[in-house]
Structure 1
Amino acid sequence: MKKYVYPSEISGTIAAPSSKSVMQRAIAASLLAEGESRITNPSFCDDSLAAMRVAEGLGAAVEKKSDSVIIRGGINPVTDTLNCGESGLCIRMFTPIAALTGKRMVLTGEGSLTSRPVSGIEGALGQLGVSVKSNNTLLPIEVSSILKGGTAAIDGSMSSQFLTGLLMALPLAEKDSVIKVDNLKSREYIDITIDVLKKFGIRVDNHGYNEFKIPGRQKYTSTDIAVEGDWSGAAFLLCAGAIAGSVSVTGLNSESCQPDRAVITALRKCGAGVTVEKNVIHVKSGSLRGFEFDATECPDLFPPLAALAFYCKGETVIWGAGRLKHKESDRGAAIISEFKKIGGTVKIDKDCMIIRGSSLTGGLTDSHGDHRMAMACAIAAMGSSDAVEIDHAECINKSYNEFYDDMIKLGAEIK
């Protein structure tokens, strides 16, 4: 699918999308809890739907309503193959959970997920008593024999998602567990995991993000849980407001654990007008200037901040580019190639991305099948001299189905 996004001035108020990060964790916890759990303000993006299908495959009954999802939990697999779609969190979180069954289970994926390595999963689960086999470190991944617990060491430098899976599965293991983690990135996503676990009655002891102690033989308690607004998706709306008018985004918790709330810091550094109220963030354009920002702990902010930086006078430096390689695309390379097509000046030097304020000209871009690239190209078009055409624009469904509709509500011209 193609989208044509025209230079536009935007204004208005829009609700933030629901957090798929919280949603997927709530689905997994509801699966592990006997009884009925209710998830309100749910996300129905592709990644969340994939998590629901996996939960159903593992034995949960899932009922989708317009404003909630009801899950009756309990692991009793009805299939031996689980398709995680294109969700990296889904594959890394549900692999340890599938190993609780003690049965042979095969986890597969689609699209870009099939080329993302799963080598860290194999090594750690092997240390915890699980027989694991992958396709030369790629999907599909097969687990057999039961997750017993114990001690394991993992590398957290590429992603915290597999640690999330261990923290969710190991409370149900026979033995107590200790997970030692080296160089953990995106620590605040682990805070989200632990917060969800607490809501379901599960205890995990975090010792400085280097060691996690998980008592075994615990029991998940079914509960009601509300999904908060998604800072990752809202970042595109907020940056669009700074580029081309003003925007107010509701449903955002300024004290959230989500690391992408740091977009507020970047917006203030560049000179945008930012007002934070309870559950509402207001952003308006101003005299924008180049800025420096460390996105090592929040790499999903690279695409919206790159789009913003082209409208900032002077040079912008964003640190943490080393974390962009294994996303839905090689996201660093995608930012360089696609923004150059529409007049942008951007390069990567070691761990930093350097962007020079440019007059974007419009033109043809490709999302690379990456939802965040599609949204970045769309908001970059707000201030360009001509329309930006986005090929494979439908990939936004991975995280934010309503993105184009919400931008249109704010005044953007999109066809």
Structure 2
Amino acid sequence: MPGTTASPWSAPTASGALDATVRVPGSKSITNRAYVLAALSRQPTLVRKPLDSRDARLMLGALTALGGSADARDDDVLIQPLRPQGTEPVQVALGNAGTVARFTPALAGLGSRAVLFDGDEAIRRRPIAPLLRALTDLGVEIDDEGRGAPPFTVRGHGGITGGKVELDSSASSQFLSALLLAGPSFASGVTVRLVGDAPPSEPHIAMTLDLLRRFGAAPERSGPEFHVPATSLSLAEYAVEPDLSTAAPFAVAAAVAGGTIRIEGWPEHTTQPGDWLRSLLTELGQRAELDATGLTITGTGEIPGARLDLHEVGELTPVVAALLCFADGPSVISGVAHLRGHETDRLAALATELSALGAGVTETEDGLAITPAPMHRGLFHTYDDHRLVMAAAVLALRIPGVEVENPATVGKTFPGFTATWQSMVGENA
């Protein structure tokens, strides 16, 4: 169901070609992985320019509850390793943060307390059962009363032996990342053999392996099998890249409205799936130029229809779907059935909301079919999903009168999004 808010956001419409420079905050995916590895390290780690958002703060809160601590230092955060903190039960607040729900239960198994995990109603509907089964197979005591979902309790017994385990990670690559991130702290490390369909978002798996190496682990991969030996982690400091998925609406804005958008700090080499936007925009006839200062997108305002398999970059789907509503012909997005288990059922939400404003959008088995049509003003429901706020902002560039429900939900990854977006469009006014 749509969320509710008393104050929808009147997203701005571009009156001409855009000309703006923007900077987006640190990557959520990298920030929360770095926080977990820092908490498992033998010495403090200074994480430079991490994301400061609801999800990142929930991760810091979880690590604090589990025996760590975090000290903010200007734009940086010093993470202290997890230390024993007694045996009294504690609770971890998950909010609707998938990384917190999936990355921290194994950490609770390393301690000696009962830890209750629970959060927003939406997190209780997001898939996690395969991860809980794998942790149980590795010897972690978990009481979920058969739900395979929050709320659940992890009862720590002072460590996890580790070893070999099979895992179905087809619903989320985060299940695999959760085991790999914690694996160096298991007595015997961990060997994960994937079963079932391939996990979505291969770049996020590569991101996990890259971060493990940076912190001193030696992960190995052979086909569907991953191995991380037990080791002592350590990294004095780590700098977080800008979030390229959060940069997506700004990148496509130039294609929708025309003009030039410069995104500062876009890395020249990265494992982030959002980097795929450069090739997409080029394929769609826009110009994307990367140099040491960032990425410059020069758009034409003309967008061809396309057939896109977004299995590896599914989180970009809301913004890309909004972009394709302005194409000169039909488009198909495929490979993203797993989005039905994200912050909301993103496929159903996009089909409903885009169609309500006039576009011809229908769900397919694993994606969306988009037939552009004249669109009109109206209220765009966001279902407590930050990426839907961003998709609505893209639509409003060409459609006057788009009201965006509950814009504050974008605080999950970019609390300053609406102000930055207004400034981008305002520079054109």
Pairwise TM-score range, normalised by the shorter structure? over 0.9
| Partner residue of 1:16 out of 17, 24, 31 | 24
Structure 1 residues 131 and 98 mapped into 2: Cα distance closer, same or farther (>3 Å)?
A: same
Say if 1:199 and 1:223, in contact at 8 Å, map to a contact too: no
Match for residue 124 of structure 1?
Answer: 134
Which region of structure 1 is more displaced relative to structure 2, 134-143 or 235-244?
A: 134-143
Please list every run of 5 or more consecutive structure 1 residues that lacks an aligned counterpart in the other structure.
none
Secondary structure at the aligned position of 1:99 is classed as: helix
CA RMSD of aligned residues (A): 1.7
> Which residue of the partner structure matches residue 169 of structure 2?
156
Q: Distance in 2 between matches of 1:60 and 1:220?
A: 15
Residues 239-294 of structure 1: per-residue CA shift (max 9 Å, x gap): 11211132111111242111121122221222223222234111232132111211
Structure 1: distance between partners of 2:34 and 2:189:
23
Q: Report the equivalent of 1:240.
A: 253
After TM superposition, give the deviation of residue 309 of structure 1 in Å: 0.5
The range that moved more, 162-171 or 271-280, is 271-280
Unaligned segments of structure 2, at least 5 residues = 1-6
Counterpart of 1:84 (choices 94, 98, 106) is 94
Q: Is residue 362–residue 368 contact of structure 2 (8 Å, CA) maintained in 1?
A: yes
In the alignment, which residue of structure 1 is the partner of 2:3? none
The change in CA–CA distance for 1:358 and 1:296 in structure 2 (over 3 A counts) is same
Give the deviation of 1:17 after TM superposition. Answer: 2.1
For 1:402, the equivalent position in structure 2 comes to: 416
* Residues 116-171 of structure 1, C-alpha deviations (whole Å, 9 max, x = no match): 13211221011101111225122012112442101100012111112111112121
Does the 8 A contact of 2:91 with 2:117 survive in 1?
Answer: yes
Please report how far the alpha carbon of residue 373 of structure 1 lies from its aligned counterpart in structure 2 after TM superposition: 0.5
Aligned partner letter, 1:269: E
Q: Which residue of 2 aligns with 1:273?
A: 287
Instruction: Give 3-state SS (helix, strand or coil) of 1:232's partner.
Output: coil
Q: C-alpha displacement at 1:412, in angstroms? A: 4.5
- Which 4+ stretches in 1 moved above 3 angstroms? none
Identity %: 26
Contact kept in structure 1, 2:347 and 2:367, CA below 8 Å: no
8 Å contact from structure 2 (residues 58, 93) kept in 1: yes
Contact 1:254–1:261 (Cα < 8 Å) also in 2: no
Tell me the secondary structure at the aligned position of residue 325 of structure 1.
helix
CA contact (8 A) 1:31 1:75 kept: no
What SS does the aligned partner of 1:69 have?
strand
Partner of 2:368: helix, strand, or coil? strand
Aligned residues of 1:360 and 1:383 also touching (Cα < 8 A): no
8 Å contact from structure 2 (residues 349, 383) kept in 1: yes
CA distance in 1, matches of 2:125, 2:139: 26
Match of 1:26 among 22, 29, 34: 34
Q: State the match for 1:298 in structure 2.
A: 313
Indicate the residue corresponding to 2:4 in structure 1.
none
Q: 2:353 aligns with which of 338, 341, 348?
A: 338
Per-residue CA shift, 1:157-200, capped at 9, x if unaligned?
A: 11111211111212111224311013222222121112112222
Q: What is the identity, as a one-letter code, of the residue corresponding to 2:232? A: K
Separation in 2 of the partners of 1:111 and 1:395? Answer: 15
Is 1:4–2:10 an aligned residue pair?
yes
Contact between 2:48 and 2:239, CA under 8 Å: does it hold in 1? yes
More strand by share: 1
Q: Which moved further from structure 2: 386-395 or 272-281?
A: 272-281
Which residue is 1:175 aligned to? 188
* Aligned-partner Cα distance in 2 for 1:351–1:411: 34
Q: How many residues get paired?
A: 410
Amino acid at match of 1:58: L
TM-score by length of 1: 0.94
**Aligned with residue 139 of structure 1, among 138, 150, 157:** 150
Which residue in the other structure is 2:232 paired with?
A: 219
Aligned to 1:94: 104
**TM-score of the two chains, using structure 2 as the length reference:** 0.91
Conserved 8 A contact 2:127-2:171: no
SS, match of residue 233 in structure 1:
coil
Q: Go from structure 1 to structure 2 and tell me whether the alpha carbon gap of 1:376 and 1:173 turns closer, same or farther (over 3 Å shift).
A: same
Maintained 8 Å contact 1:84/1:91: yes
